[in-house]
């Protein structure tokens, strides 16, 4: 992203969270429900609200509330039992969209995930553009569902940011604005602070996140061993990485050549062999790749890489070879190379279904 502000993005972390997900899916499938207060959950006397639409929330209906209470608050409440298979099906499409943006993806539940966009942010002119693109893609892939997006340089701040302008929100917190963003928010917004911890914090006199950020060790005393970690989070310090569920980030093949070669037909033959080998490996793992990268090492041991996103995720050698050839043809002639490699990234498992178009522009 263009660094048109002086603050540096050490990392670009997105938290994306579908709006009233179960209720929104029911409204999608039955548009009449859009104008009714709606709760998803069990209809019997011990039923609990799983999700309520925003109309029902105006009456005070909330997740985890007993259904009997919800009906007392809102006499016209429409109660629909959950259809988990349907939600899972839509969730797969949403996660497949996220995956086209970054393979460093950490789903937290069916409807929310962290994405580490640090390596891919140059594809976008601004974090706002990145956020809008994610929202558009989710809307298109689901036939009209909205997602709220928060973008920041830590997981904790991105998670709070996605929540502050729900529904259909987009909140970017620039690194030099983190403290001002957090300070006025209630302590309940701190990630990891549940109702119990919230009680302890307010009992100790902490109302806002800013109160916690400014607290001395002595003032934090009543919070015990958690005090210091609350203060760190309140100050926007969070080194946690976006987990990638252990999936390998890329699959590659490289060879040192018997003799150094310039960009030439002879070198292309090695690239072709590499492409066939890599495609075979990703196919055996039931993966498709959304991008191809070539690596070359010059005779004087300088590494260079070139990469390109593909219009559709693929395991077909022809398509990959075409992209690799285009990348090689863009390299200035004049050097000779001692090593050549091809790797494929933005891997998607076949089971994740829907293949989404990737970035419009090459990185």
Of 106, 112, 219, 265, the catalytic one is 112
Which span sits near Mg ion by CB under 5 A: 11-19, 74-82, 215-223, 269-277?
A: 11-19
From the CB of 354, what's the least distance to Mg ion, in Å? 20
Cα separation, 349 vs 352, whole angstroms? 5
- Strand (E) positions, 200-359? 250-261, 287-298, 303-314, 337-349
- What end-to-end distance do the CA atoms of the chain give, in Å? 11
User: Which phi and psi angles does 239 have, rounded to 5°?
Assistant: -95, 0
User: Measured from the CB atom, is 50 or 220 closer to Mg ion?
Assistant: 50
Nearer to Mg ion, 149 or 201 (CB): 149
Distance, CA of 116 to CA of 112 (rounded, Å): 14
Return the number of the residue (106 or 111) whose C-beta is nearest Mg ion. 111
Residue 111 or 315 having the CB closest to Mg ion: 111
CA 270 remoteness from chain centre: 36
Q: 157: buried, middle or exposed (CB in 10 Å: 19+, 13-18, 0-12)?
A: buried
Q: Which is nearer to Mg ion, 21 or 114 (CB)?
A: 21
Min CB(14)–Mg ion separation in Å? 14
Q: Specify whether 254 is catalytic.
A: no
Taking the least distance from each CB to Mg ion, the nearer of 24 and 251 is: 24
Asked if 149 interacts with Mg ion (CB under 5 A), we say: no
d(CA 269, CA 249): 26
Among the listed ranges 1-9, 21-29, 159-167, 311-319, the one in contact with Mg ion (CB under 5 A) is 21-29
Of 264, 341, 268, nearest in space to 305 by CA = 341
Least distance to Mg ion from the beta carbon of 191, Å? 15
**In the complex, minimum distance from the CB of residue 73 to Mg ion, in angstroms, rounded to a whole number:** 21
Residues 6 or more apart whose Cβ sits within 8 Å of residue 69: none
Q: Which of 11, 12, 16, 17 forms a contact with Mg ion (CB under 5 A)?
A: 17
Which span sits near Mg ion by CB under 5 A: 74-82, 90-98, 108-116, 187-195? 108-116
Applying CB under 5 A, the span of 1-9, 106-114, 279-287, 341-349 interacting with Mg ion comes to: 106-114
**C-beta of 108 vs 266, nearer to Mg ion:** 108
Size of interface with Mg ion, in residues (CB under 5 A): 4
Q: Which stretch binds Mg ion (CB under 5 A): 17-25, 126-134, 169-177, 254-262?
A: 17-25
For the CB of residue 62, give the shortest distance to Mg ion in the complex, in Å: 13
- What's the min distance (Å) between Cβ of 135 and Mg ion? 14
* Residue 18 touches Mg ion, criterion: CB under 5 A: yes
* Residue 336 near residue 328 (C-beta atoms within 8 A): no
| 67 near Mg ion (CB under 5 A) | no
CB of 91 to Mg ion, least distance (A): 11
CA distance 19 to 163: 10
Backbone angles phi, psi at 334, to 5 degrees: 125, -25
| Helix, strand, coil share (%) of the chain residues, nearest 5 | 40, 25, 35
Asked if 355 and 314 touch (Cβ cutoff 8 Å), the reply is no
Instruction: Find the binding residues for Mg ion in span 252-281 (CB under 5 A).
Output: none
Q: Return the H-helix or E-strand segment holding 317.
A: helix 317-329
Site for Mg ion in 111-140 (CB under 5 A): 111
Strand order in the sheet with 78-80: 49-52, 38-41, 78-80
For 112-137, b/e burial (b = at least 16 CB within 10 A) is: bbbbbbbebbebbeebeebbebbbeb
Known catalytic residues are: 112
Residue ranges in contact with Mg ion by CB under 5 A: 17-18, 21, 111
């Amino acid at each position: 992203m263009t660094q048109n502000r002086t603050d540096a993005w050490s990392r670009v972390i997105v938290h994306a969270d579908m709006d009233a997900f179960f209720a929104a899916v029911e409204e999608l499938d039955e548009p009449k429900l859009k104008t009714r207060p709606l709760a998803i959950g069990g209809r019997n006397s011990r039923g609990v609200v799983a999700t309520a639409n925003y109309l029902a929330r105006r009456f005070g209906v909330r997740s985890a509330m007993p259904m009997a209470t919800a009906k007392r608050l809102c006499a016209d409440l429409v109660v629909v039992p959950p259809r988990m298979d349907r939600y899972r099906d839509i969730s797969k499409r949403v996660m497949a969209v996220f995956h086209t943006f970054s393979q460093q993806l950490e789903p937290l539940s069916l409807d929310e995930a962290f994405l580490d966009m640090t390596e891919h942010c140059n594809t976008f002119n601004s974090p706002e553009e990145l956020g809008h693109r994610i929202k558009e893609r989710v809307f298109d892939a689901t036939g009209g569902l909205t997602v709220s997006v928060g973008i920041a340089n830590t997981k904790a701040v991105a998670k709070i940011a996605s929540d502050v302008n729900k529904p259909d929100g987009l909140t970017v917190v620039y690194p030099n604005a983190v403290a001002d963003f957090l300070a006025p928010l209630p302590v309940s917004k701190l990630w990891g602070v549940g109702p119990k911890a919230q009680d302890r914090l307010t009992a100790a006199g902490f109302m806002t996140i800013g109160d916690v950020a400014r607290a001395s060790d002595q003032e934090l005393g009543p919070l015990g061993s958690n005090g210091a970690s609350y203060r760190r989070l309140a100050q926007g310090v969070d080194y946690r990485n976006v987990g990638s569920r252990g999936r390998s980030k890329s699959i590659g093949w490289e060879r040192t050549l018997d003799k150094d070669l310039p960009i030439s037909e002879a070198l292309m033959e090695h690239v072709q062999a590499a492409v066939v080998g890599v495609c075979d490996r990703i196919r055996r793992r039931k993966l498709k790749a959304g991008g191809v990268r070539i690596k070359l090492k010059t005779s004087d041991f300088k590494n260079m890489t070139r990469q390109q996103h593909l219009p559709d995720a693929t395991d077909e050698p022809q398509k990959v070879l075409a992209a690799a050839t285009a990348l090689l043809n863009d390299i200035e002639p004049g050097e000779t190379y001692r090593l050549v490699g091809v790797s494929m990234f933005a891997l998607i498992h076949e089971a994740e279904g829907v293949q989404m178009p990737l970035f419009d522009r090459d990185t």
